[in-house]
């Protein structure tokens, strides 16, 4: 059978019976963001799941506040807060199996923490102490990605490789609305759909690419609508409804694991804090807009729904907050400890086997450190780091 003889194959001049390769209708997102809390369907949500989601949301809010405070104290060089977006972050961290991979962007430290990464390790890159701060393979969390959207092709490549090897692995890649304006986003979606890769793309549409509003980035009906152009389903969800985000992501992950291919999920949320501690958000948005989104706070939405079902009372709220305070206190204490850094660690974890050039550079640095130590009368381990 030739290429042109395959069912649905493209022909320069379509015959009368030509049909599109894929029916577009099932791929299109809903007209409105999917919501779960406050609807009749919310009664079917597991109480244990709601309790866990609530605990992680409260801890996530406190984590964001503590990390922001650490920047003001000079303990972090920069921190891109995800306050207001905790529902997306927590859901992303909880839907994956241990064998799966999370591909975060620079704003997604909370997602990594929700997945089980040590909060101090998650912030090490932003502190400037280490290449990544953690072993990506051990935690199945890719390094925090500062360049926009470059983690998306990486996620597709890993997912595709896992499928070729027969490994039951799904990759979940996070990106902001600004990242969808990058070529890497489009290339990743195209490869994922063509390869039928088990990958889920979660776009956290928080309204702004730094200071650029979404309306100046795209004229599409929604970012989820972009999925149909690549031949994958697009889902539109209320990004502040943690139960809805968790359900939509769970369905997308199950679809990918079952051989259904990739899914693009757009979570409509809002960045309450500035882009980073170096940004002045008042220059491009009004306080009234921020306050309107505060009224749609993910924690308040969940707590109201849980109280309606008698799943949460004042004691439960207090217990969640106390757990969050313990997390913040531990983070604060350990981040106030000055790190002990070894210059030779610069050469660690670059390649599995060092190149000749790296060995030469490592030897040169070791010689300089030994000479400096000799001048100061401090002994060093001259063999360290030269393998």
Question: Is 54 an annotated catalytic residue?
Answer: no
Is residue 382 scored above 80 in pLDDT? Answer: no
Exactly one of 163, 235, 271, 366 is catalytic; name it: 271
Radius of gyration of the chain (CA): 24
pTM: 0.89
Does residue 79 have an active-site annotation? no
pLDDT recorded at residue 349: 79
**DSSP state letters, 78-125:** -----TT-HHHHHHHHHSS-TTSEEE-BTT-HHHHHHTT--HHHHHHH
pLDDT, position 208: 95
Per the CB < 8 A criterion, the answer to whether 281 and 275 are in contact is: yes
pLDDT score of 345: 87
Is residue 336 annotated as part of the catalytic site, yes or no?
A: no
* pLDDT more than 70, % of the chain: 93
Q: pLDDT tens across 125-168, in order? A: 998 887 788 999 999 999 998 899 999 999 999 999 999 999 99
Question: What's the mean pLDDT when you consider all of the chain?
Answer: 92
The catalytic position among 54, 62, 255, 275 is 275
Tell me the CB-side half-sphere exposure of residue 311, using CA atoms within 13 A.
Answer: 21
* Interval 198-210: pLDDT, tens: 999 999 999 999 9
**In this structure, what is the dihedral angle of CA atoms 249, 253, 258, 261, given to the nearest 10 degrees?**
90
DSSP secondary structure code for residue 236 in this structure: E
Pairing of strands 263-268, 199-205: parallel
Task: Single out the catalytic residue among 186, 284, 285, 321.
Answer: 284
Give the pLDDT confidence of 178-201 residue by residue, as tens digits. 999 999 999 999 999 999 999 999
260-312 confidence digits (pLDDT tens): 999 999 999 999 999 999 899 999 999 999 999 999 999 999 999 999 999 99
Residue 69 pLDDT greater than 90, yes or no: yes
Structure confidence at residue 341 (pLDDT): 82
Backbone angles phi, psi at 322, to 5 degrees: -65, -40
């Amino acid at each position: 059978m030739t290429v042109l003889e395959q069912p649905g194959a493209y022909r320069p001049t379509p015959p009368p019976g030509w049909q599109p390769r894929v029916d577009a209708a099932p791929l299109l997102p809903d007209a409105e963001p999917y919501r779960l809390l406050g609807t009749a369907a919310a009664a079917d949500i597991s109480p244990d799941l709601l309790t866990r989601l609530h605990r992680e949301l409260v801890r996530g809010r406190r984590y964001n506040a503590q990390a922001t405070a650490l920047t003001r104290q000079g303990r972090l060089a920069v921190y891109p807060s995800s306050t207001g977006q905790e529902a997306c972050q927590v859901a992303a961290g909880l839907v994956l199996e241990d064998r799966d991979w999370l591909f975060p962007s620079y704003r997604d430290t909370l997602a990594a923490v929700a997945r089980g990464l040590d909060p101090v390790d998650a912030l090490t890159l932003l502190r400037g102490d280490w290449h990544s701060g953690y072993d990506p393979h051990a935690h199945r969390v890719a390094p925090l990605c500062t360049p926009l959207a470059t983690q998306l092709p990486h996620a597709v490549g890993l997912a595709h490789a896992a499928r070729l090897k027969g490994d039951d692995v799904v990759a979940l890649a996070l990106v902001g609305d600004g990242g969808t304006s990058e070529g890497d986003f489009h290339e990743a979606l195209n490869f994922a759909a063509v390869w039928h890769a088990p990958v889920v793309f979660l776009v956290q549409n928080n309204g702004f690419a730094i200071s650029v509003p979404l309306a100046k980035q795209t004229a599409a009906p929604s970012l989820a609508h972009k999925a149909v152009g690549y031949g994958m389903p697009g889902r539109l969800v209320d990004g502040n409804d943690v139960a809805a985000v968790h359900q939509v992501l769970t369905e997308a992950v199950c679809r990918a694991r079952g051989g259904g291919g990739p899914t693009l999920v757009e979570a409509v949320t809002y960045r309450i804090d500035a882009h980073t501690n170096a940004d002045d958000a008042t220059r491009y948005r009004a306080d009234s807009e921020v306050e309107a989104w505060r009224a749609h706070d993910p924690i308040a939405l969940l707590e109201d729904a849980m109280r309606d079902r008698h799943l949460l009372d004042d004691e439960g709220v207090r217990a969640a907050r106390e757990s969050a305070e313990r997390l913040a206190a531990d983070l604060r204490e350990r981040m106030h400890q000055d790190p002990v850094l070894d210059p030779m660690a610069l050469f660690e974890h670059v390649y599995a086997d060092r190149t000749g050039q790296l060995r030469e550079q490592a030897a040169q640095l070791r010689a300089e450190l030994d000479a400096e130590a000799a001048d100061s009368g401090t002994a060093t381990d001259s063999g360290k780091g030269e393998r």
